[in-house]
Amino acid sequence: MATRFHRGLAVVVAAISLFHLAVFAVMVYLVFQLEVLPDVLGDLVNPLPPWLLLLSMPGPEFLRIAALAGMGSLLLFAVFANLGVRRLYRRTDSTELLFVMLFCLSLCPEAWRVGNLVLQAFGLPLYLHILVTRVVLFSRVFGLLCLLVASLYAVGMKYTQYPVLIGGMVVLAFTLAGILPLDTSLYEVTFLFKLGDLQGYRFVGSIFVILMTINFLVAARLRRSRRFAVAAPAALLLLAGRELLQYGVAPLPIALGAAALTAGFVVFVRQIVVFYLGF
């Protein structure tokens, strides 16, 4: 039953990833067809640190191209990573891989950030912009939860009611994303509304990351395998790469983010697969 669920979910995840890639392509076409520039959203706030903007250029045209390139990198990574993980299910139904696959799926709603440009161009209501922001926030919280749960299974959690667990994670992520205050008068460089409680969001995220890291290190000791100790920094690389690409409005963070995501994914998946299959 669990094997059937894993493989069925893998198919659904791959389909959702491809759907978001197609939606992203359509919205990018509209952005260029309508000649929509980021400055239609007003003043952008929270710029990147200067060292990440070394290769950047001023002007909304460059910001538009760079931001779209960053989102496209996230979506392409999600598609190919999920297709790769799906193939591994022919040999193992490791729960850690299941939740890494869901982490990759959580990157897909980043495509909807382009929606704020398109929505503004058509003069659609403000609540749709708020909805886009909260959907993206949900996906980011859900991604953190996925890696945290993967670390719990690495330690030895035996709970096998995966639909219930994933449903609970969805509810928790939606709740957290729904209660976060938004400043609807300001946009970030990501085309989303500015968080009203950025420190609180970062605090919750930091707690998840710390717990995840501790769990993988404990798993290395309990299971007497250094592979879980290697999985910990690999998971951190996944999160670092995601963070850089989320704020990818310049060439340097896009390149570094794509490299970190790819390296973290390859190392993490290899450690898990080798541990369970022994090759």
CATH of the domain at 142: 1.20.1070
- Better-predicted residue by pLDDT, 55 or 181: 181
Task: Name the strands in the sheet holding 44-45, side by side, starting at the edge strand that comes first in the sequence.
Answer: 44-45, 182-188, 193-195
User: If you compute the radius of gyration of the chain from its CA atoms, what whole number of angstroms results?
Assistant: 19
Task: Read off the DSSP letter of residue 89.
Answer: T
Query: Which pLDDT score, from 0 to 100, does residue 131 have?
Result: 93
The model's pLDDT over 138-172, given as tens digits with 9 standing for 90+, comes to 999 999 999 999 999 999 888 888 889 999 999 99
The model's pLDDT over 175-197, given as tens digits with 9 standing for 90+, comes to 999 998 988 877 787 888 888 88
Query: Which pLDDT score, from 0 to 100, does residue 42 have?
Result: 56
- The structural domain count of the chain equals 1
- Of 49, 107, 152, 52, residue with least CA distance to 264: 107
**How many Cβ atoms sit within 10 Å of the Cβ of residue 140?**
21
The model's pLDDT over 66-82, given as tens digits with 9 standing for 90+, comes to 889 999 999 999 999 98
Structural domain including 113 reads 2-277
Q: How far apart, in Å, are the Cα atoms of 180 and each of 46, 137, 193, 204, 249?
A: 18, 9, 11, 11, 24
CA separation for the pair 272, 265 (Å, rounded): 11
Q: Are 14 and 82 in contact (CB under 8 A)?
A: yes
Instruction: Say which amino acid occupies 273.
Output: V
Query: Which pLDDT score, from 0 to 100, does residue 263 have?
Result: 96
User: 31 has which bridge partners?
Assistant: none
